[in-house]
């Protein structure tokens, strides 16, 4: 998507994509980070919102209408009594029910060599936990954008049984061209999982987004890549292939937990 500052228009576009994808026979639809709004809203639906709320109600209705799963990408979730918000994703089942919810764990806080400071945590409150969910389609894991740089998080999801991990993003052009594909393929290979990474494209309120939405299989092969325009990218997830890859490269089983481990608190 090339999400802009009109939430109503963005969500109408999202619903059209859902209808088109459902007509093609998909079982699950996913979206990029900030799928409903980039910048200050000039349309309907307000800014940050509760869950359930304006965006999830629309997506839930579409999931139930078509009998499919929908991964929301991410959107700003209001936090009562706080100016900050959560950057939140949900997974909705074919009955229109929210079955999983995740808020971005990692915020980009940095002091650059020139002394300038960026504090994403001043706007976004980090989430409090890792999320996986078992479904008839497989065990799904949830992450958002900057999370991809923290391999331990992906390893924990894989150890919880994740077979497919969603990585909706709004990646910048400078880092995207050098890091996006490399990191996504690495996460897929080292954990033997599918990575499904829907990314924003276009000029945003603060930067140009990289695009290159892609699906990476457990061997590290990019099996689908989006062109540089809004639209739908299709891919098939083959869990038998995932099992085959894990049997050939059993890195999850060969970990030396007598010497090291990844511990979740």
Please, which pLDDT band fits residue 111 given cuts at 50, 70 and 90? confident
Q: What residues are annotated to the active site?
A: 33, 104, 145
pLDDT of res. 195: 98
- Read off the CATH number of the domain in which 188 is found: 3.60.110.10
Q: Give me the number of domains the chain comprises.
A: 1
pLDDT tens digits for range 25-38? 999 999 999 999 99
Considering the chain, what percentage of its residues have pLDDT values greater than 70?
Answer: 100
Compare 116 and 151 and report the one with higher pLDDT: 151
The pLDDT score that the predictor gives to residue 64 is 98
3-state secondary structure the chain: CCCCCCHHHHHHHHHHHHHHHHHCCCCEEECCCCCCCCCCCCCCCCCCECCCCHHHHHHHHHHHHHCCEEECCCEEEECCCCCCEEEEEEEECCCCCEEEEEECCCCCEEECCCCCEEEHHHCECCCCCCCEEEECCEEEEECCHHHHHCHHHHHHHHHCCCCEEECCECCEHHHHHHHHHHHHHHHHHHHCCEEEECECEEECCCCEEECCCEEECCCCCEEEECCCCCCCCCCCCCHHHHHHHHHHCCCCCCCCCCCCCCCCC
Encoding tokens for residue 254? 């060969």
Residue 191, pLDDT above cutoff 90: yes
Over residues 136-181, the pLDDT tens digits come to 999 999 999 999 999 999 999 999 999 999 999 999 999 999 999 9
Q: What is the per-residue pLDDT for 115? A: 84
- Quote the CA–CA distance of 113 and 265 in Å, as a whole number: 33
Supply the pLDDT for residue 264. Answer: 81
- Given a cut of 80, is residue 265 above it in pLDDT? no
Q: Which domain holds residue 129?
A: 7-248
219 band by pLDDT with thresholds 50, 70 and 90: very high
CA-only gyration radius of the chain, Å: 18
pTM: 0.96
Beta partners for 201? 210
Give the per-residue pLDDT at 206: 87
Class of residue 224 by CB neighbours under 10 A (exposed 0-12, middle 13-18, buried 19+) = middle
| Buried-state track 174-204, b at ≥16 Cβ within 10 A, e below 16 | eebeeebbebbbbbbbbbbbbbbbbbbbeeb
Residue 55 domain flag = yes
Residues linked to residue 142 through DSSP beta bridges, in sequence order: 166
CA-closest candidate to residue 167, choices 215, 108, 226, 230: 215
Whether 2 is covered by a domain: the verdict is no
Query: What is the mean pLDDT of the segment spanning 209-226?
Result: 98
**Does a structural domain hold residue 131?**
yes
Least confident residue range of 17-21, 83-87, 105-109, 112-116: 112-116
- Nearest CA-CA partner of 135 in 166, 106, 167: 166
Establish if 59 belongs to a structural domain. yes
* pLDDT category of residue 117 using cuts at 50, 70 and 90: confident
Q: Model confidence at 118, in pLDDT bands (50, 70, 90)?
A: confident
| Residue 263, number of CB atoms within 10 A of its CB | 7
- The predicted-structure confidence for 71-90, as pLDDT tens digits, reads as follows 999 999 999 999 999 999 99
| Position 265 in a domain | no
In a domain, 259, yes or no: no
């Amino acid at each position: 998507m090339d999400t802009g500052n009109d939430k109503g228009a963005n969500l109408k576009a999202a619903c059209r994509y859902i209808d088109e994808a459902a007509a093609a026979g998909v079982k699950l639809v996913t979206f990029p980070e900030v799928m409903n709004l980039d910048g200050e809203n000039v349309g309907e639906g307000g800014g940050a919102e509760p869950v359930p709320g304006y965006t999830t109600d629309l997506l839930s209705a579409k999931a139930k209408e078509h009998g499919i799963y929908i991964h929301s990408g991410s959107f700003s979730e209001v936090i009562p009594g706080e100016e900050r918000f959560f950057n939140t994703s949900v997974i909705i089942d074919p009955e229109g029910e929210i079955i999983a919810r995740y808020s971005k764990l990692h915020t980009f806080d940095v002091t650059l060599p020139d002394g300038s400071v960026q504090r994403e945590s001043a706007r976004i409150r980090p989430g409090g936990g890792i999320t996986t969910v078992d479904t008839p389609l497989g065990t799904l894991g949830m992450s958002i954008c900057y999370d991809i740089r923290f391999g331990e998080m992906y390893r924990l999801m894989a150890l919880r049984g994740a077979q497919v991990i969603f990585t909706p993003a709004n990646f910048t052009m400078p880092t995207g061209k050098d890091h996006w594909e490399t990191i996504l393929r690495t996460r897929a290979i080292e954990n033997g999982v599918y990575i499904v990474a829907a990314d924003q494209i276009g000029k945003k309120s603060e930067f140009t987004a990289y695009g290159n939405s892609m699906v990476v299989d457990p061997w590290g092969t990019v099996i689908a890549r989006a062109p540089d325009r809004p639209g739908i990218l299709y891919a098939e997830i083959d869990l038998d292939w995932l099992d085959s890859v894990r049997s050939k490269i059993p890195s999850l089983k060969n970990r030396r937990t007598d010497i090291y481990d990844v511990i979740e608190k």
